[in-house]
Amino acid sequence: MGIFNDARNLKGLRVSLFVAIWVTSISTLIGTCAAFLFEQEEFRFKKLFYFLMIAPLVVPGVIIGIALLSFATSLGTFLELSLGLDVRALSPGLFLVICGQCSFITTFVTLVIIARLKKFDRSLEEAALNLGAKRHRVIWHITLPYLRPSIIGAAAVAFLLSFENFNTTMFLVGSNATLPITLFTQIKDGSTPVVNAISLLLITCVSLFAVLNFYIQRRQSAKAAKS
């Protein structure tokens, strides 16, 4: 099929997968840690940090992309003029794309995990601590297994949001364009059969991925309820 012989679109697909995997990994790790942090009663300035975490959700992706690009450009210029350092990571490219996407996708991950963590029975942790278990072992063997369905679901959401992101990525991407950017450049002069075929495949794959993730979460939630 011609769709699998289109080097340009295949490269865009590889770039999108690369970015999505990194964004998913980073967002899931930071989001899980943030969820634990926000559930600590003694955490000072919790409301302030919670507001800062929610803020990217109400800021358009275009603004996030422009702001991050402007900041990276200004910082890169300052480092080059003041210290003579040429930091390539501050130029438009995949590093900025990953940073830009993580800035708001991490919020979705955190909110999903917080919703699950609020239902957690803290007496299970207290019982394990009273029996002599260390804090990190309690988290690893009790808390994280309980959160596993929400962590997997949050990671799936992060992957899909990253893979299809256009607004923020448009301003931060360099020569290695993601698949949505690649498709956008191709449809400026009208749609083509290849673009239509790729769009259909993406819709099908995303739908199957969402159904599979829903099925896995249902099974894990059922197992957790039985145990």
The per-residue pLDDT for range 33-54, each reduced to its tens digit, is: 999 888 877 777 788 888 888 8
All domains in the chain, ordered by first residue: 16-176 (1.10.3720.10)
Q: H or E segment at 193?
A: helix 193-226
Residue numbers in the chain where pLDDT is lower than 50: none
Indicate the pTM of the whole model.
Answer: 0.85
Q: Look at residue 220 in the predicted model and tell me its pLDDT.
A: 66
Q: Which two tokens stand for residue 221?
A: 């939630």
CA angle 210, 171, 48 (to 5 degrees): 75
Q: Look at residue 190 in the predicted model and tell me its pLDDT.
A: 67
Q: Which two tokens stand for residue 154?
A: 């949050």
pLDDT 10s digits, 73-96:
999 888 888 888 888 888 888 999
Residue with the two structure tokens 């290695």: 176
Q: Look at residue 22 in the predicted model and tell me its pLDDT.
A: 96
